[in-house]
Amino acid sequence: MPILASNIFSLVRSALDAEGSEYYTDQQDLIPAINSGQSFLIYLINAQLGAKKFAEEYYRELIKSRVWQSSIYSRVDVTLPATSPLEKVWSILSITVEPELNIPFVAANVIGGLSVERPDLLYVKDGYACGRLTMEEWVENAGNPFMEGYTAEPNTLNKDYAYLTHVSYANTSPAIPFASPNEIEIRPPVPSSPVVIAFVKLPTPVQLASDNLDFPESMTDLLVKATLREIAFKQGDRTTISSLSTQDMMAMLKNTL
């Protein structure tokens, strides 16, 4: 259940010593503050994602599963999603190949053989999970039959898939036509095939008080404190709001992250 921005605003206003004065407005103060607070939280959670300590259930509003069609080079560009509203990929949780979909997969004809998101398809079940490799592992594992991403025997009965995180294969000389600037590669190759990617999406910035924040309700107070902390910047140093909200926020983050 997402949090209503107006709910945060009313809680923030109650903490500010300016009731009924219209001193703090939504557009000039609260919305920029809540977006800054959200960005600050994103920065903090980034470290959690990198350390693989991400609690999926805690950020359930941000987790999405979408189907892409890979490029002819078995690569996927997740930076250009077709879904509306735009879902920017923050961090990839899993990549699944050879999935069972809601309808039989028919490869779409894409100019240049690029990857494309397929909003017409839904992931149902099964498939093979891809392990994430570093650049060094990507090269070394190609010849190791016991590691993910092994390709020396293309007809192996026990494929162990792997993926290499975002790399730009685009170049200017020689120019590769239609190359995307940011692609994930999957091995053993699955060219022009369905690829299911479960990812954490970047929270959508708030534009109106009626918008929702993509965080669970349990994070309401954390967001209030983060917003208050941003507003306190305007109030100068040594304000009670700044120190208290920062102190509270850090205490909550310590338990959350």
Partner 1 sequence: MAGQNTYRYVVYDVLTTMQSAFPDADINANHILYWARTVENLIRKRHLNKLESGAYLSQFANVPVLKDGIRHYIELPSAIYDLAFEKGIKYITHQRSTSIAFTHTLFQPTSQSESFRLYYSPYEVPSPSNPYFYRVNSRIYFLGVENIKLPTVEMGLYTAIDPRSSQVNLDDTINLNEDQVAQLRIELLNMGRYMLMIPSERDMEGADTRTEGSPGVSRSTITSNNRNQQPQEEQIETTPE
Which residues here bind partner 1, judged by CB under 8 A?
145-148, 150, 153, 155-158, 160
Residue 133 beta carbon to partner 1: minimum distance, rounded to whole angstroms: 12
Closer CB to partner 1, residue 149 or residue 203?
Answer: 149
Segment (H or E) for 54: none
Closer CB to partner 1, residue 77 or residue 160?
Answer: 160
What are the phi and psi torsion angles at 61 (to 5°)? -65, -20
Cβ–Cβ < 8 Å for 62, 90: yes
What are the phi and psi torsion angles at 35 (to 5°)? -70, -35
Closer CB to partner 1, residue 131 or residue 216?
Answer: 131
Closer CB to partner 1, residue 120 or residue 153?
Answer: 153
Q: How many Å apart are CA 100 and CA 147, to the nearest integer?
A: 25
Segment (H or E) for 85: none
Half-sphere exposure of 197 (CA within 13 A, CB side): 33
Residue 53 beta carbon to partner 1: minimum distance, rounded to whole angstroms: 14
Residue 146 beta carbon to partner 1: minimum distance, rounded to whole angstroms: 4
Residue 132 beta carbon to partner 1: minimum distance, rounded to whole angstroms: 13
Residue 152 beta carbon to partner 1: minimum distance, rounded to whole angstroms: 9
Closer CB to partner 1, residue 12 or residue 164?
Answer: 164
- Helix, strand, coil percent content, the chain, rounded in steps of 5: 35, 25, 45
Q: How many Å apart are CA 127 and CA 203, to the nearest integer?
A: 28
